[in-house]
Structure 1
Amino acid sequence: MPSTDPVALTQALVRYKTVNPPGEEHDCAHHLGDMLAAAGFDVTYVDAGERRTNVVARLGNGAGTPLCFTGHIDTVPLGAQPWRVDPFGGEVVDGRLYGRGATDMKAGVAAFVAAAIDHADALAAGPGVVLVITSGEETGCDGAFHLTEQAGVLGEAGAMVVAEPTSNQPLVGHKGALWLRAFARGVTAHGSTPEHGDNAVYKAARMVGALERFDFGRPAHEVLGRDTLNVGTIAGGMNMNSVPDVCEVGIDIRTTPGASHADIRRDLEADLGGDLAELETLVDLEGVWTDPGDAWVAEVYAVMAEMLGETPVPRGAAFFTDASALTPHYGDIPTVILGPGEAALAHQTDEYCVVDRITQAKAAYATLMQRWSAA
């Protein structure tokens, strides 16, 4: 049986337009599901909305807990900057595979699917794997959370690899995300008589000052650093010559594992005081952390040290992943983020993935699958 080419599969996945919104991952998901079903995997499709398809594929003898691999197939929009290449062409130039989603993270998905298909016979004879391929990750892990709410669909897992872009460096954690929208409200009036109104923009400006000074009151994490807060958007007013009666502020908070998002929200409400009319939660994702001394993590380090030519050291990511939903669902299993993409190229114009990293990732995933099955 010929080997499954992860580079060609990445190209095929890039050619599906799964920009989120709207996502429309259905066709891409079924392409992967059909391949896995043909290799003997038990494939389940779970829709989280119209054409918002997730795939759960498993193979094993049921005698042990499988190893989980996960990745998402939605992408962010193209952005305003023109691309030099077709963003959905999957073109390979000078050892780089270009396209929206090439690095984040269709190359990672292609690599673990290719590895699983090529080793299906061995996986079927042992505890095997469960592959969780999701929709809607870019807007807050929507697909993954939907899967956790479906009784029995995800089954069990003993450890997990998240194939997000890390240049094939194994990471043992990532920050959480708490996205909030704060509203200041006032009373409108004619711009020539502002004393008759109550200016919501002035209230929002005071809130922004308080947000800039906000103190989380927590020590830095030994690897992931400090919790952070960024004011990303502000919008208010209906025209130049009216007193604005509403203004909203978008807040992006990234937290280290162990932070209480409920406590942070409470402290923010106290700091923003009477200028705050309402605080709305848009995204609430906990951070993820696995002890670098965990025995399975040490095995991952050993596999990657041989491939990379250097011994990995504990590292983490500032971005979030579907592990925020899946790791606690599976009982806080050991979790490693490990994928062929380049994190710095995620969401960028002319996004690409280095071809050699895709083949290296497939080899790494195959080794981890084989070792898990042999344990």
Structure 2
Amino acid sequence: MSGPLDVTDLAADLIRHPSVSPDSGESQIALGATLSAMGFTVTHLPFGDGAERTPNLFARLGTGHPHLCFAGHTDVVPPGSSAWAHGPYAGDIENGLLYGRGACDMKGGIAAFVAAVSAFLAREPQPRGSISLLITGDEEGPARFGTQKVLEWMEAHDEIPDFCVVGEPTNPAVMGEVIKIGRRGSMNVHLTVSGRQGHVAYPHRADNPVHRLLRVLHELTAVPPDQGTEWFEPSGLQVTSVDVGNPATNVIPAQATAALNIRFNDLHTGAALLGWIKTICQRYAPGTVIESQISGEAFLTKPGPEVMALSEAVQSVTGREPRLDTGGGTSDARFIARYCPVAEFGLVGTSMHQVDEHVAVDDLVSLTRIYENLLERMVA
């Protein structure tokens, strides 16, 4: 490698490899070639079969500790049906902005880390610690054959890092605002209450499931599951759908359903919340069929030396002291938290998933400098 790589060129090149989730793998092949030229040992790790086949990449430089890992994803959401002023895969730059699908979520973040490593190695060719990248191709999709599978492989091969930074866009408006040190858990629940159909004029001959379902929903929503914690806001349960499918005005229906979503903090587990729901259903509507899907458990990385090093790196570059936060939706950090401390910090996310997604070139440069500063603090 002749010298530090340009972050804007790296990001534009990644954007020019279309990679709607799940990534076809071409963007990771290009990324792997760049990392190999920098001295990384690159391992391509496809998991899944057929349409679910997902490309993944793990690359490591060095064998020592501390071991700092950067995690991200090359897959992107579709460009949508609206016309783009700049092609979604053109990687155009205009008025200081880089346009393209994935510019901020999150090919720009990947480019910033690679550029940061190249600049760091130009000054520290023999770091005491080691550096790695965990890159998946299905974060925007079902996430079945991505980060989870790579982590299992990493554990089996003694590659688990001491600290991981996920490069998701965490800043609401300007660089340096927010570091995420945790995320709420999320679960979806579907309830089906059965009764006995009948004429509304003769309710004693029927069993109205709607009435019993309403009692269940009232109990579930009457009081929040908790009052929040030091790092998390109160858990929240939202009823997202109630359906009966009854076009008649004089018929008591035979069945009623409801859908719920719960975003929960680290006072709960998905299993415990499911038990709570089952207890209430048993009380008001015995026999309720309950289906659930837990997309992620809550996690928290309590502030320690690694989080403080990241915070100091952000402040040294931006002049802002970032807020440590646990809000927002889910990310692949929920999987990484099972193995090692993890925090999230990346670009400004105002345009992610939108038409004409873009990132300021100055922000790409700032993020590169922040990651470079973190490398100096952790592995130099």
TM norm. shorter chain > 0.5: yes
Query: Counterpart of 2:77?
Result: 76
Deviation of 1:84 (Å): 4.6
Deviation of 1:206 (Å): 5.7
Which of 270, 289, 298 does residue 279 from structure 2 map onto?
A: 270
Query: Counterpart of 2:149?
Result: 146
Contact 2:224–2:235 (CA<8 Å) still a contact in 1? no
Distance 1:6 1:74 in 2: 19
Contact 1:207–1:275 (CA<8 Å) still a contact in 2? no
Deviation of 1:78 (Å): 4.2
Query: Counterpart of 1:290?
Result: 301
Counterpart amino acid of 2:291? E
Deviations 1:142-179 (A, max 9, x none): 31111233353561211121111123435242323322
Contact 1:148–1:154 (CA<8 Å) still a contact in 2? no
* Paired positions, count: 364
Distance 2:183 2:202 in 1: 44
Distance 2:90 2:212 in 1: 48
Counterpart amino acid of 2:32? G
Q: Secondary structure at the match of 2:238?
A: strand
Query: Counterpart of 2:27?
Result: 28
1:1-375 residue pairs with structure 2 within 5 A?
A: 1-20=2-21, 23-50=22-49, 51-60=53-62, 62-79=63-80, 83-120=84-121, 122=124, 124-139=126-141, 141-142=143-144, 143-150=146-153, 151-153=155-157, 155-167=159-171, 168-169=175-176, 170-186=178-194, 208-213=217-222, 215-216=224-225, 218-233=226-241, 237=245, 240=247, 249-273=258-282, 274=285, 277-292=288-303, 294-330=304-340, 333=341, 335-342=342-349, 344-374=350-380
Name which of structure 1's ranges 40-49 and 4-13 shifts more when overlaid on structure 2.
4-13
Contact 1:303–1:364 (CA<8 Å) still a contact in 2? yes
Contact 2:333–2:343 (CA<8 Å) still a contact in 1? no
Q: Secondary structure at the match of 1:280?
A: strand
Deviation of 1:268 (Å): 1.8
Q: Secondary structure at the match of 1:179?
A: strand
Distance 2:260 2:33 in 1: 41
Q: Secondary structure at the match of 1:115?
A: helix
Tell me: CA distance 1:25–1:203, structure 2 relative to 1, closer, same or farther (3 Å): farther
Q: Secondary structure at the match of 1:109?
A: helix
Q: Secondary structure at the match of 1:16?
A: coil
Contact 2:96–2:361 (CA<8 Å) still a contact in 1? yes
- Unpaired segments of 5 or more residues in structure 2? none
Deviation of 1:70 (Å): 0.6
Contact 2:77–2:353 (CA<8 Å) still a contact in 1? yes
Across the aligned residues of Structure 1 and Structure 2, the Cα RMSD in angstroms comes to 3.3
- Unpaired segments of 5 or more residues in structure 1? none
Deviations 1:55-102 (A, max 9, x none): 110001x23231111112223344566555433333333333233322
Deviation of 1:35 (Å): 1.3
Identity between Structure 1 and Structure 2 (%): 26
Point out the structure with max Rg over C-alpha.
2
TM-score, normalised via structure 2 length: 0.82
Q: Secondary structure at the match of 1:329?
A: coil
Q: Secondary structure at the match of 1:306?
A: helix
Deviations 1:229-248 (A, max 9, x none): 233455664x8579876665
Q: Secondary structure at the match of 1:299?
A: helix
Contact 1:301–1:311 (CA<8 Å) still a contact in 2? yes
Q: Secondary structure at the match of 1:221?
A: coil
Deviations 1:338-374 (A, max 9, x none): 10132x4333343322221111111111121122222
Contact 2:179–2:325 (CA<8 Å) still a contact in 1? yes
